Structure 1
Amino acid sequence: MKGPQDYLTETDGAVEAHIRARLSEAFPEDGFLGEETGGAPRDQVWVVDPIDGTANFARAIPHFCISIAFVAGGEVQLGGIVNPALDETYLARLGEGATRNGRPIHVSETTDITATSFEMGWSNRRPLASYVAAQSELFEAGSNVRRGASGALGLAYVADGRSDGYAELHMNPWDCLAGLLLVREAGGVTGPFLSADGLAQGGSVLAATPAVADILSRATTIPLLAGRDLLPESQSRAQSLRIA
C-alpha cells in the first residue's frame, strides 16, 4: 500500500521499467514522467501510468489498463490506452481522430439526462463531501452514476460512447492525459487540465458528450474548456504570436 486505497504491485514497477526502457531507446532526447519512477515535465515528455486500476488488477478484475501520452509543444500529441484483459487498444493523435483496435470511435449521442450514464472517480485529495454532493446532484437530475476504479478507462469509454461522461475532482497527469485526448478526438468536450498546471500538479478532470456536458460541469463545479488545452507557457507564446 502506498497510502489509503492506493495499491502497488510488483507488476506496476516492472511494466513502467519496460516502457521507460523502450521509450528511452526509441526517443533518447525525450523526457519521461511515470507514476512509479517519477520524472519532470519537459517540452517533450512521455507520461505513463503502467497500470491504472491497480486495485482491480490486484483482485483479478479485468478492468485496468496501461496509459501512455506524449506531450510536446504544450499539447497532448499522442494518447494510447490498452486494456490487455479485453485486448482493446485505444489510440488518438491530435487532429486525426480516435480509434479502438483500428476502428474510428465517437462519443455517444445521448441528449436526455434521464438516459445518461456517468462515471465519477473518487480521490482522497479532495473533500468527501464534494464528491457526495456532486453524485447526489447527478442522481437527482436523473442520471445513473457508477465507478469502475480506472480513470483512464473511464475516459476511454466516454470516447467510445460506452459512457456519457466522466469526472474526477483530482487526477494525476498519467491517469488522464491520454484519455482526455481520446475524448476530444472522438468529438467530446473536456475541462481544462494542462492550462491549469495539471502536468505538474494534477487537477480536476471532466469529459463528456457535448449535449450533457453542462449538467456534469454544474454538478462537479469543474469548468468546461473554452479552447485548446495548452500548457500556460504555450498559451503565452500563442498569445504573443497573435499580438504580433
Structure 2
Amino acid sequence: MSHACQSARYEAARAIALEAGRHALACFAQRERLVVEYKGVQDVVSIADREVEELVRARIAAQFPGDCFLGEESAGHALEATPGDASRALWIVDPIDGTSCFLHGMYAWCVSIAVVIDGEPVIGVVYDPNADELFHAEKNGGAWIDAPATNDDFARRALQVSDAASARDGVLGVGISHRVSSAPFLAFVERWLEQGGMFVRNGSGALMLAYTAAGRLIGYYEPHMHAWDAVAGIVLVTEAGGRTNAFLDDDGLARGNAVIAANPRIYGDLNADIAATAFLAA
C-alpha cells in the first residue's frame, strides 16, 4: 500500500475518533438510561459501545470499502471485508475502552482506533473526550497529541516517552482481568514495590498506553489484552521512542497477548521482572 493511501487512513482515523468520542461523551452524560449487558465477570457492554462501534464501522466502510474491520463488540464477526483482501488494511477498534469506568461516572475511558497494513501496525489513535486529548501516531511519523491550549484553540505537541532510569523514577501503569491468574500478577506487583516502584490502574489500558507514550507513566504492563485494547497504544509508544513486546506474535491478533511497554532505559528490567514472576519468558 502506498504511503499516500496509508496517510489517508491516518487522517480519517483521527477524524473518526473525534466524532466517535463526541458521540460517546453525549451518551456518558445520559449513562443512567443506557441498557447494559454482562459479557463475563467484570466485563460489561452498553448500548453506547454498540452505537459508537457502528458509527466507526460506517465511516470506515464509506471511505475505505475494501478494508477489513475488527471491533470489540462485533468480534464474533471479526475480519469482515466487503470486498477486499484481509491481509491488506485492517481497522481495529474499541469504541469505549474502559466501559466499567464509563458506566460508573469515572473519566478513565477512551476511543481506540488502530490500522494494521500487511500485518504491521502502522496507525494508532486514542481519543479521550473528557480531557479533549487526541493521541495519534503514524509509523515513521512520530507520535503527537492534539489538546486544548490556553487560548481555547488546539495545540499539537510531539509525544516522548519518559526518561526514567529505574522503578523509583515514576509510576507504572498496570492492568489485570479475570482472564488470567492473579497470583503471578500479585507477585510482580510485590517485586515492583520492593524496588521502590509505584503503580496505578485506571481501568483503560488504551489510555494508559497513551499516557506511557506521553511520558506521564514510565511504562505499562498487562498480562493479557485483546487487540482492540492494545494495538493503537503500541503504535503510540513505539513512535514516541518507547519499546514494546511483539504483541501480534503467537496469533495475538485473534487471541490477545501480554503487553509490556516502557522507555528503552527500563524496558529490559521491567521485562526481566515479569519473566521472574512467570508471566512472560525473557
Structure 1-normalised TM-score?
A: 0.89
Q: Is the contact between residue 110 and residue 116 of structure 1 (CA under 8 Å) also seen in structure 2?
A: yes
Alignment of 1:101-180 (within 5 A): 101=146, 102-180=156-234
Percent identical pairs in the alignment equals 41
CA-CA distance at 1:195 after TM superposition: 2.4
Q: Is the contact between residue 169 and residue 220 of structure 1 (CA under 8 Å) also seen in structure 2?
A: no
Query: 1:195 maps to which residue?
Result: 249
**Using the alignment, how far apart are the partners of 2:269 and 2:172 within structure 1?**
11
**Using the alignment, how far apart are the partners of 1:162 and 1:123 within structure 2?**
23
Q: Is the contact between residue 65 and residue 83 of structure 1 (CA under 8 Å) also seen in structure 2?
A: yes
Q: Which amino acid aligns with 2:194?
A: E
CA-CA distance at 1:62 after TM superposition: 1.1
**Using the alignment, how far apart are the partners of 1:218 and 1:135 within structure 2?**
13
**Secondary structure at the counterpart of residue 8 of structure 1:** strand
State yes or no: 1:85 paired with 2:123.
Answer: no
CA-CA distance at 1:40 after TM superposition: 3.0
**Secondary structure at the counterpart of residue 73 of structure 2:** coil
Structure 2 spans left out of the alignment, 5+ residues: 1-37, 80-85, 147-155
State yes or no: 1:48 paired with 2:102.
Answer: no
Q: Is the contact between residue 167 and residue 198 of structure 2 (CA under 8 Å) also seen in structure 1?
A: no
Q: Which amino acid aligns with 1:57?
A: F
Structure 2-normalised TM-score?
A: 0.77
**Using the alignment, how far apart are the partners of 2:250 and 2:242 within structure 1?**
19
State yes or no: 1:181 paired with 2:235.
Answer: yes
Q: Which amino acid aligns with 1:27?
A: F
**Secondary structure at the counterpart of residue 7 of structure 1:** strand
Q: Which amino acid aligns with 2:196?
A: G
Query: 1:35 maps to which residue?
Result: 72
Q: Is the contact between residue 124 and residue 138 of structure 2 (CA under 8 Å) also seen in structure 1?
A: yes
**Using the alignment, how far apart are the partners of 1:50 and 1:112 within structure 2?**
34
Query: 1:14 maps to which residue?
Result: 51
**Using the alignment, how far apart are the partners of 2:100 and 2:227 within structure 1?**
19
Q: Which amino acid aligns with 1:124?
A: H
CA-CA distance at 1:116 after TM superposition: 2.6
CA-CA distance at 1:223 after TM superposition: 5.6
**Using the alignment, how far apart are the partners of 1:154 and 1:134 within structure 2?**
18
**Secondary structure at the counterpart of residue 103 of structure 1:** strand
Structure 1 spans left out of the alignment, 5+ residues: 225-244
**Using the alignment, how far apart are the partners of 2:115 and 2:257 within structure 1?**
18
* Residues 39-77 of structure 1, C-alpha deviations (whole Å, 9 max, x = no match): 334312100000001111001111100000001111011
Q: Is the contact between residue 180 and residue 223 of structure 2 (CA under 8 Å) also seen in structure 1?
A: yes
* Residues 127-170 of structure 1, C-alpha deviations (whole Å, 9 max, x = no match): 11011011111111111011111000010000000000101000
Q: Which amino acid aligns with 1:208?
A: A
Report the aligned-residue RMSD: 1.2
Q: Is the contact between residue 71 and residue 78 of structure 2 (CA under 8 Å) also seen in structure 1?
A: no
Q: Which amino acid aligns with 1:37?
A: S
Query: 1:237 maps to which residue?
Result: none
**Using the alignment, how far apart are the partners of 1:196 and 1:121 within structure 2?**
21
Query: 1:232 maps to which residue?
Result: none
Q: Is the contact between residue 67 and residue 80 of structure 1 (CA under 8 Å) also seen in structure 2?
A: yes
* Residues 165-192 of structure 1, C-alpha deviations (whole Å, 9 max, x = no match): 1010000000000000000000000011
**Measured at CA, do residues 204 and 112 of structure 1 come closer, stay the same or move farther in structure 2, by a change above 3 Å?**
closer
| Structure number with higher relative contact order (C-alpha < 8 Å, ≥ 6 residues apart) | 1
